[in-house]
Every structure is written in structure tokens, then in C-alpha cells.
Chain A
Amino acid sequence: MKSVAVSLLGHKDHGKSTLIGRLLVECNAAAKERVEHVRELSKSMGKDFEYAFLLDSFREERADGLTMDSTSAKLSLNGKVIELIDVPGHKELVKNMLTGASRAKYALLVASAKPGEGFQEETRLHVLLARMLGLERVVVAVTKMDMQGYSREVFDGISKSVVDYLLFVGFERSQIKLIPVSAMAGDNIKTKSSSMPWFAGKPVVEEMDSFFDSGEGEAAARRQAPARFLVQDSVDTDEGRAVLGRVEQGTLRKGDEVFFLPENSAGTIGKIMFFGRAADSAGPGENAGLLMDFGRSAFPGKGSVGCRKGEGVNAVEEMQAKLFVLPGFYLDFGKPLRVKNASGESNCRVARVLERIDFIKNTVEKEVRLEKGDSMDFLLAELECEGSAVFEEFAKTPFLGRFVVLQDNQIAAVGTVEKTSSG
């Protein structure tokens, strides 16, 4: 069955968890006891039915009305599965937001129509991060429309600021859809609301159906891309030593000549191994074992990247990358950064900061001289790299184009490679 992962985005208290809760109830995706339990709990707290409690399970989350950590829930739609990932809006909890959103391909962005709420800083932060994470399409739910008398003017006003910002960070207009909703009152969730006859678009559930449109084309493109095999481990089998790993993109076949970086070990695939079935090829997302003879060269280790001959990767000496510094950390540009991606680690020196975006003050500075990257800075920078990690552009090879910066083995920043050059 087809499935997509959709991350909620938006400022705290603008109604992300409430919207998911409502979607679950309308699509009959919440267990009866769970709904009953939430009904009793809401009542005992003197509230109307709190849809958010279907997601917010921690005692503290319910008491404070705030999502602390990411979670997800699934609903099915005409035989297809949508996984809705809830994330905290609060900017101090952005590591939890990234934990959820980094699994998603699409976004449901919530912007509140309630007076005094609107399009705020945490929404801007989430939009910036969504763009960096490579989310492909954004459905914007302008929520709490019932608090504004379902006013078209209010919807148009918020829509304009949201769209302007999405375009500013690099989304195309065709990637954006806007819907006026009330999650509490149930407007434009599963069926079209009669309270907003002026709205010509689809309700949220129908609009999310479009997330499945590009599936086939993308899957084909991924199969035909230059092959990349990420090594996890190796094991001795009855037939010899096998390289274990996942085909991240492209297709590998028996008989292919494959070389592994950074070892530069080459060999021919003698057999592609799966347990309980025979196969002559392995495609994207498949975890295989490769029986190969490397002669005297080193056996590839964890993080090595296998490529077919003629479709290889150049060693990257310089790259342009987006960087976001997590709250509670700062990056000292006087020292090289410990950059880790799927293939390994490199030391990268920040040579130049091309842009700094301040999502709180909502300003962009160009060509800034910085000695450090501050907590929650969003930067576009030039990095000089030395080490074993294999990098490619995020847009071309996502798994080699995304990275984290480590400090004391903790994720201090996240980034994506925009451009590479081999010096």
C-alpha cells in the first residue's frame, strides 16, 4: 500500500496537534477507547473535547497544552496511508521538531487566523527548515477561522504573508496550497465547509491526496539514478564474506563492477544476497548483502559508499552549505567543524558566510564576517573540508547531501550541501 509521511509545521499553539486529532477522528483512525478516554479527560479538566490529547500523551503536555516531543499517527485514505507527524512548535524544542520533520516528504503548515496570532517567528523557522529538509509540497491550513467569522479578508491577508515567505525561502508557487479551516469546528477538514462558500479549493483530506501524485515518477527516477550503496557492516556467510548495506538510489546488478569510497576498493558483484529469496539486482531502499572479492584491497567498512564504475563521486574539497545551529549550541568558526554524514566524518572549516537569516527579527544579512554561528542562526556558508566523508549535492543525492555537526557527540547543527567543488 502506498504511504507518505507528512510533517505538521507552525508556531506553538496555532493548532497542529488539534488539526491532527481532528483529522484522525474524521477519518475514523482513532481507537474507540482512546477517543472515550480523551473525552473523559477533557471533561475532568473543564474543557470541550481536546483533539490534541489524542497526540499529546505525556501528562505534562496535557496539563500545559503544549507538545513536547514528536509523535505520529496514521490515517488511510482510499487505500493509501498518510502518516501525520506531530512536532512541537516551541523553538527551544526544535531538535524534536527536526526529529519528526526530517522523516517527512510533505508538510501541513498551520497558521492561526486568531487575532494576535497570524504568521509568527516559529512558523518562519519551520518554513526555513522545511525548505532545507527538502520537503516537496506544502499545504497551508489557516486555522481557527471560526474566531474570525470565517472572513475571507483575514484568510487572504495571512495567506499572502505565508506565500511571500515560502517563495522567499525558495519554494515554487506550484508547491503551495492554502485552505481556510477550523479544526475545532470541523470546517474544511474532510468535507467542504458551508461557512466559507467563497473558498473554491479542496478540504485538507482531499488536498493531501495530491501528495501521492508524484510517487510513480519519483520512484522510477530513483531507480534510474547513479547507483549508491551505503555500507553498514560485513558478515561471514556460508558462501563467503558479504558487504551489508542499503541501496540508497539506483540499481545494482550481479556482475556490476563496483568501487567503494573512501577505501577505493573495487570488485565485481558475484552474488546479491537476500534471505529466503534469490535476486539478480537490488533497487532503492533494499537492504542487501553483496558477495564480492576485493583481492588485496581493504574490505569496505561502515559508511563506505559503493558506486558503479564511471558513475563515481569526486572527493569534495569545498562546498556551499546551509547550516542551522540548534538551540543551546554555538559553532566556533576559529576551529574546524566536525561534520558527519551517512558516509563518515570530515573536518570542515567555515571560510565565508554568504547569508545569515534571522527568523526572529526577520532579517537577511549578506556576506557577514562572523567568528561564530550563534544558537538558532540559519546560515549559507562556504566550507573547506578534509576527511573521509563523501559529499554530494542534497538535491542530487539526498543521503550524501545532508549532515550534522557534532560537538561532544551531540548534534549541534544540521545542514545540507547546496554546491560542491573538488578544488
Chain B
Amino acid sequence: MIEQDLNELEEKSVYVIREAKSRYKKVAMLWSTGKDSTTMIQLTRKAFFGKVPFPLIHLDNGLDFPETYEFRERLAKQWDLNVIAEPMPVKAEDANISGISCCGVNKAETLKKLLDREGFDAVIVSIRRDEHGIRSKERYFSPRDKAFKWDYKNQPAEIWDFTSEVEGTSHVRIHPLLHWNEIDVWNYIKREDLPVHPLYFSHDGKRYRSLGCTKCTVGIDSKASTVDEIIEELRNTNTAERAGRAMDKEKENVMQRLRALGYM
């Protein structure tokens, strides 16, 4: 797996995060408590000298792991974070959860209501190009229309650091980690000595490489129980990061449909 220069990655991301704050009126950041969005909080602290000037949104379907809630509370206290824990009730028919209805419709609708209610015009999201072919087509600044749709067939130009504005935009998604690889995130966690959600570490021979809720994530076989061991594991793997995520099966174009609907 390709490892990049952490200073370069960090500078690019800090620039985008500062740009987000200076360009938009009311900015929020999505925080799943996972490795990527937690890294993004650290980058924000770098940008603003230890402070996080935006609220962090945790979309909570109530089915997250207990460790997730515990980690959220601990870090919120430690870093003085303003967390909006937005309940996202799962409907009975979703008990046998599918990507499209839960992660797509439910998550996107909950976020839409929240953004409308609070008047956020920009949301910072920690997706990366290397996660998925569809995500790799994204821009750093990516508008969503009133219906929250991603018009992937006609994305605005983003030339040098200039962006076209689009009429009828409800909010802009901002992606400061777009250029990071999975292993870069872990190298950064190590360098910065960041707190890590405990489920990333091996327990009884299994660990989570990508964390969703209890219904859509599956653990992988792994003995890695420290950050160093995870980095070592990734150096030697040739399987995809999100292999354990139900919605990523490309065959059915699920990710493309999900993202067009407003999924992250």
C-alpha cells in the first residue's frame, strides 16, 4: 500500500479546512468516531491552534457499538468538542438492513433535516479517493442540490484552487482528506499519537478495518492489536479496506446510487 509524505498531506488538508471556514457561513463536520474523521479533527486543531471551531455531527442510528459512544464522550471531553449527536431511528422494515435504505435514504434524510434545521451551508466529510472508485471521482468542494443529490454527471469545474458555484445548491460537501490513503491515516495517527476507537484493534483474532454500525460492518481476520501492527498489516495486504462494508459491492452499483442520493 502506498505511503505518502505526511507533512505534504497535512498541509493540503489544513489549507482546505481553513478555506472551508473562511468561505462558508456555517460549517459542520461529520464525525463517525472512526479513524478518518478523528484524524480530520486533529487536522482542524492544527488549522486553528488547538480549537475546533465547528460542531461535529454524529449521525446515530442507535445501533452503533457501545465502544463508539464511549469513545465519543471521552474524546469530546478531552478535546473540548461540540458534538451534535443526531438520532437516526432505524425503521422496522430495515431490521434486515440494506445499504440503500439505511445508509442511503435514512442517513441522507437525517442529515438533510439537521442541515435545514441548523442552517449549515457546508459539511466537511472525511472520504478518501482510495476508498472506492466512485469516491475517487469527487472534488474537494462538491455541491449538493436542494434534493441533496450529487450531480455526478455535471460536476462543477475545480481548476487550481478556484471553484465554480452552482445554482440551487443546498450545501457544499468539503473533502479535506481526499488525497490520503488508508495507510497514511494510520501513519499519521502514529506520528500524532491520536486516540483510536478500540474496535480497530484485534480482539479474539478479529478487528474492524472500516467501521460502520453493528449491522453493516464485518470484522476481518487480524492479529493487529497496536497501531504499529496495523501499519505492518496494511503494508502486506492486497485486499480492499471496505471489503467488510455491505454497501460497497460494486456489482450492483450500490455506491454510485447511494452517493447520488446524498450518502457520504
Contact in complex: A81, B4 (CB < 8 Å):
yes
Instruction: Specify which chain B residues have a CB less than 8 angstroms from the CB of A235 in the assembled complex.
Output: 48-49, 53
Please tell me if B165 contacts chain A, counting CB pairs below 8 Å.
Answer: yes
Contact in complex: B5, A74 (CB < 8 Å):
no
Residues facing B in A253-276 (CB within 8 A) are 273-276
Within the complex, what minimum Cβ distance (angstroms) separates B184 from chain A?
10
CA distance A243 to B243 in the complex (A): 44
Please tell me if A411 contacts chain B, counting CB pairs below 8 Å.
Answer: yes
Please tell me if A285 contacts chain B, counting CB pairs below 8 Å.
Answer: yes
Supposing A81-B2, A404-B159, A411-B157 touch, asked if A58 and B134 sit within 8 A by C-beta, the answer is yes
Please tell me if B93 contacts chain A, counting CB pairs below 8 Å.
Answer: no
Supposing A33-B239, A275-B50, A287-B11 touch, asked if A326 and B157 sit within 8 A by C-beta, the answer is yes
Contact in complex: A285, B157 (CB < 8 Å):
no
Please tell me if A72 contacts chain B, counting CB pairs below 8 Å.
Answer: yes
Contact in complex: B239, A32 (CB < 8 Å):
yes
Central interface residue in A41, A57, A95, A286, by most chain B CB within 10 Å: A57
Within the complex, what minimum Cβ distance (angstroms) separates A91 from chain B?
14
Supposing A3-B5, A32-B239 touch, asked if A58 and B136 sit within 8 A by C-beta, the answer is no
Which one of A29, A55, A286, A287 lies within 8 Å of B47 (CB-CB)?
A287
Contact in complex: A60, B159 (CB < 8 Å):
no
Instruction: Specify which chain B residues have a CB less than 8 angstroms from the CB of A273 in the assembled complex.
Output: 49
CA distance A275 to B17 in the complex (A): 14
Number of interface residues of A (CB under 8 A): 60
Please tell me if B253 contacts chain A, counting CB pairs below 8 Å.
Answer: yes
Please tell me if A23 contacts chain B, counting CB pairs below 8 Å.
Answer: no
Residues facing A in B47-65 (CB within 8 A) are 47-50, 53
CA distance A289 to B47 in the complex (A): 9
Residues facing B in A36-56 (CB within 8 A) are 37, 40-41, 54-55
Within the complex, what minimum Cβ distance (angstroms) separates B150 from chain A?
11
Instruction: Specify which chain A residues have a CB less than 8 angstroms from the CB of B53 in the assembled complex.
Output: 235
Please tell me if B73 contacts chain A, counting CB pairs below 8 Å.
Answer: no
Residues facing A in B243-257 (CB within 8 A) are 243, 250-251, 253, 256
Contact in complex: B157, A72 (CB < 8 Å):
no
Please tell me if A325 contacts chain B, counting CB pairs below 8 Å.
Answer: no
Please tell me if A76 contacts chain B, counting CB pairs below 8 Å.
Answer: yes
Please tell me if A281 contacts chain B, counting CB pairs below 8 Å.
Answer: no
Please tell me if B236 contacts chain A, counting CB pairs below 8 Å.
Answer: no
Within the complex, what minimum Cβ distance (angstroms) separates B232 from chain A?
17
Contact in complex: A232, B46 (CB < 8 Å):
no
Supposing A72-B129, A96-B157, A410-B164 touch, asked if A57 and B256 sit within 8 A by C-beta, the answer is yes
Within the complex, what minimum Cβ distance (angstroms) separates A285 from chain B?
5
Instruction: Specify which chain B residues have a CB less than 8 angstroms from the CB of A34 in the assembled complex.
Output: 133, 240
Contact in complex: A275, B18 (CB < 8 Å):
no
Within the complex, what minimum Cβ distance (angstroms) separates B100 from chain A?
15
Within the complex, what minimum Cβ distance (angstroms) separates A236 from chain B?
10
Contact in complex: B155, A37 (CB < 8 Å):
no
Contact in complex: A246, B15 (CB < 8 Å):
yes
Contact in complex: A102, B2 (CB < 8 Å):
no
**A-contact 0/1 string along B1-40, CB 8 Å cutoff:** 0111100100100110011011000000000000000000
Instruction: Specify which chain B residues have a CB less than 8 angstroms from the CB of A57 in the assembled complex.
Output: 132-134, 136-137, 250, 256
Which 3 A-B residue pairs are closest in the complex by CB-CB distance? A57-B133, A409-B165, A95-B157
Give the A-binding residues of B (Cβ under 8 A). Answer: 2-5, 8, 11, 14-15, 18-19, 21-22, 45-50, 53, 129-130, 132-134, 136-137, 139, 152-153, 155-167, 181, 238-240, 243, 250-251, 253, 256
Interchain residue pairs with CB less than 8 A apart (10): A57-B134, A68-B152, A71-B136, A75-B2, A95-B157, A273-B49, A275-B45, A275-B49, A276-B50, A399-B160
